Structure 1
Amino acid sequence: MSIHVEQAIIHAITQNKEGQLSCRLRPQPLLNGTAVEAMVDELHQTYSSKAGKGFGFFGVNGDDGEANPAFKDALQSYLSNELGFVEFSASAGKLLQEELSKYDFSQGGFLLLALYQHMATDYLFVALLNAKSSMTVLDDMELTQNDHLDLANLQLAARIDLTEWQRDSESRKYISFVRGRAGRKVADFFLDFMGCVEGINAKQQSKQLMQAVEDYVAEGDLTKDERQECRNRVFEYCQEQVETGIDVQLKDLADELAESGMESFYDFAVQGEYELEENFPADKSTLRQLKKFSGTGGGVSLSFDSTHLGERVIYDPVSDTILIKGVPANLKDQLDRRLKSN
């Protein structure tokens, strides 16, 4: 496995018939080392592959939303050996119960806290997991129903990069979190319970990077193929950073483009009005536009490689039309059959 679990524990937050929430605390860490390692490894991979994560930091009184410092204080007490892991987790469980009690929509769940290492980095993973029913066939071929943790459906989860937080307390991105399906608002209560406020916006930084790249290649004396090669290098570098969980480094990215013979991309980016951080987490879905155009609306979906623009795909902004030369074979077959039936 790619991770090493130091500590892990689960507490249950349940709701009674009157709708009141209570937190049932586990008195000791999870003991089954093999099962715990497998579970945390699966959650790590599932979480890392989640697109569009948000990034933030522990707020203090006076920040937006007047962040509650209780979770941060308890975590600091654990890291300084003033609290045990079980005591810290119990404090977190009670804080989450109190936060959930402010809302009508909550049904509770299982609060998982896992402290683990991956690639020489210490993380604290925090998630509110739900149970999911499934059917099992017993030895006598009889069916039985049981519940299991729904590890694949991570909707309320955050990961704290403890190494970065302890190394750079001024960082604004050492906490990452899953954005809800309808945007950040869905997960507000989960971030509030941890006292997390949003810091660096990965999507916005990626948009700014993409604009900087487009301006950069436009200023150079490059052919169409050379411009696209620059875009491809940027995308491939950022994709590798996302897959390994490492931030984009502007200076390293500039090195990837150094062979173009143009002005240093680093100098170009920092001197422009792009407001790019020296390093930031990339949003792969945004940067994919360097290689592919896509859009959906009004019952129409369209996607094509950016290399086709101006050749197989002709866009006329004045008439608001797109001309496609060489219709894909499977689409052509569908259209031909429909024309014949009409």
Structure 2
Amino acid sequence: MTITIDQAIIHEITQNNEGKLSCRLRPQPLLNGQAVEVMLEELHQTYTSKAGKGFGHFGVPEGSDAEANDAFSNALDEYRSGDLGFVEFSGKAGKLLQDELAKYDFSQGGFLLMACYTSLASEFLFVALLNAKSSMTVLDDMELTQNNHLDLNNLQLAARIDLTELQAEPDSKKYISFIRGRAGRKVADFFLDFMGCVEGVNTKVQNKNLMNAVEDFVAGNELTKEERQEVREKVFDFCKERSDEGLDIDLKSLADEITEDGMDSFYDFANTGDYELDDEFPADKATLRQLKKFSGTGGGVSLSFDGNHLGERVIYDPVSNTILIKGVPANLKDQLDRRLKGE
């Protein structure tokens, strides 16, 4: 187990034939048996590995009702101070989610899971709206029966509050992380609104700025092509490792990792430019992967290659807007040869 569970509970939000929502509250926490441990461990791993998460904090968006937006955070404060039990706190959250869902026509309810657990010395509150999925099971007498189970693989509406960071740095803009919807931030608006969460850190922008700073840094030092690529790969490997461990990119630690004798300080370089980098921010591997690979799609053509091939196996001519590839991949060459032979 990579997590230590404190408490967990599930409430159900249902919709009747008239479309009215109601919240069926569980009167006590889930027993921390093996089923709960396995479920939360799986959800923790799935959530941590989700790419492209957004980050935010408790706040009031423009034009919103401040009192309504504070309801979840106020209840959380009461729970953290001991004035409210976990069951009562989660019950308030269930009612808040029910009220928020009632504003929309698309909702059919689901199971609200709330869990407090510790991982890597940080305490988290995990909040997710899970759906049930139908499946077929073979009984002992070889008869088929249909049952429902929680769809843990399709985790779309979930957020995690870093309670340790919230307590240590209440002014932080990133102690809440959330899964972005498939169509972008707006898909999960109602889920974040019920918690009173507003987006605070644009992870993609921070990672794009870091990538630009690295490119300018290697260009400004007298490095060979191989040395420049080595720095890029060190940056990517460092950030990937931090991301896999659920940690933020620490700019000072990254600078120590890539700055060698005879080179300028990357930390000083990044802070003297117009990169607007925070000292710590979450990693976005999809953005940083551009340090190692070039890729693009458009007009029916997709192309991807390792960065160290540029100028050698892959020759780019910006004037003629063409790319020459030396040494066509064997499987692609076979397809091309077959097509030419057929024509």
TM-score (norm 1): 0.97
Q: Tell me if the contact between 2:7 and 2:32 (Cα under 8 Å) persists in the aligned partners.
A: no
SS at match of 2:57: strand
For residues 238 and 226 of structure 2, what CA distance do their matches in structure 1 show? Answer: 18
CA distance in 2, matches of 1:203, 1:89: 32
**Alpha-carbon distance, 1:115 to partner:** 0.4
Alpha-carbon distance in structure 1 between the residues aligned to 2:269 and 2:288: 19
CA drift at 1:34 = 1.4
- Counterpart CA distance in 2 for 1:11 and 1:323 is 59
Does residue 176 (structure 1) correspond to residue 177 (structure 2)? The answer is yes
Letter matched to residue 285 of structure 2: K
Q: Give the letter for the 1:19 counterpart.
A: G
Give structure 1 stretches of 5+ with no counterpart.
none
The alpha-carbon deviation at position 83 of structure 1 amounts to 0.3
Corresponding residue number in structure 1 for 2:59: 59
Residue 12 of structure 1: aligned partner = 12
Aligned pairs for 1:213-232 (under 5 A) are 213-232=214-233
Q: Does residue 332 of the first structure (1) align with residue 304 of the second (2)?
A: no
Say if 2:7 and 2:116, in contact at 8 Å, map to a contact too.
yes
Return the letter of the residue paired with 1:177. F
1:26 is matched with 26
> What amino acid sits opposite 2:11 in the alignment?
H
Give, in whole Å, the separation in 1 of the partners of 2:149 and 2:298: 38
Once the 2 structures are TM-superposed, how far is the Cα of residue 63 of structure 1 from its aligned partner? Answer: 5.4
CA drift at 1:261: 2.2
Task: Assess if the C-alpha contact under 8 Å between 2:249 and 2:281 holds in 1.
Answer: yes
**Contact 2:12 2:23 (8 Å CA) reproduced:** yes
Taking the TM superposition and a 5 Å limit, the aligned residue runs for 1:41-80 are 41-60=41-60, 65=64, 68-80=69-81
Provide the secondary structure at the position in 2 that maps to 1:259: coil
Say whether 1:189 aligns with 2:215. Answer: no
Displacement, 1:297?
Answer: 2.0
Q: Which amino acid aligns with 1:129?
A: L
Letter of the aligned partner of 2:147 in structure 1?
N
| Aligned twin of 1:296 | 297
Which secondary structure state, in structure 1, belongs to the residue aligned with residue 167 of structure 2? helix
Instruction: String of CA shifts for 1:118-173, please: whole Å, max 9, x gaps.
Output: 11110000000001111111112222111100001110000000000000001000
Separation in 1, partners of 2:82, 2:290: 47
The count of corresponding residues between Structure 1 and Structure 2 is 341
Distance, in Å, in 1 between the alignment partners of 2:237 and 2:77 is: 38
Task: Give yes or no for contact 2:203–2:281 (8 Å, CA) kept in 1.
Answer: yes
Check whether the contact 1:64–1:197 (CA below 8 A) recurs between aligned residues: no
> Relative to structure 1, is the Cα distance of residues 101 and 149 closer, same or farther in structure 2, using a 3 angstrom cutoff?
same
Percent identity between the two aligned chains: 74
Distance 2:299 2:147 in 1: 43
The CA distance in 2 between the partners of 1:41 and 1:108, in whole Å, is 24
1:103 matched to which residue of 2?
104
Q: Could you tell me how far apart the structure 2 residues matched to 1:274 and 1:53 are?
A: 22
Classify the secondary structure of the residue corresponding to 1:124.
strand
Asked if structure 2 preserves the Cα contact closer than 8 Å seen for 1:59 and 1:195, the reply is: yes
The answer as to whether partners of 1:59 and 1:66 remain within 8 angstroms in 2 is no
* Cα distance in 2, alignment partners of residues 32 and 226 from structure 1: 52
1:113 equivalenced with 2:124 (yes/no): no
Task: Map 1:85-164 onto structure 2 (within 5 A).
Answer: 85-164=86-165
Which residue in 1 is equivalent to 2:313?
Answer: 312
Give the gaps of 5 or more residues in structure 2: none
Q: Secondary structure, in 3 states, of the residue corresponding to 2:56?
A: strand
What's the TM-score, normalizing by structure 2? 0.97
Q: Which residue of 1 aligns with 2:255?
A: 254
User: Partners in 1 of 2:255 and 2:267 — Cα distance?
Assistant: 5
Q: Secondary structure at the match of 2:247?
A: coil
| Structure-2 residue corresponding to 1:287 | 288
Match of 1:235 in 2: 236
Give the match's secondary structure for 2:260.
Answer: helix
Distance 2:288 2:112 in 1: 34
1:199 aligns to what SS in structure 2?
Answer: strand
Distance (whole Å) between structure 2 residues aligned to residue 253 and residue 112 of structure 1? 36
Q: CA deviation at 1:301?
A: 1.4
Structure-2 separation of matches of 1:49 and 1:114: 18
Q: Secondary structure at the match of 1:51?
A: coil
Counterpart amino acid of 2:135? Answer: S
Deviation at 1:64, TM superposition (A): 7.3
Q: For residues 187-221 of structure 1, give each alpha carbon's deviation from its aligned partner in whole angstroms, at most 9, with x where no partner exists.
A: 01101000000011111100000000000000010
Closer/same/farther in 2, CA of residues 65 and 270 from structure 1, 3 Å limit: farther
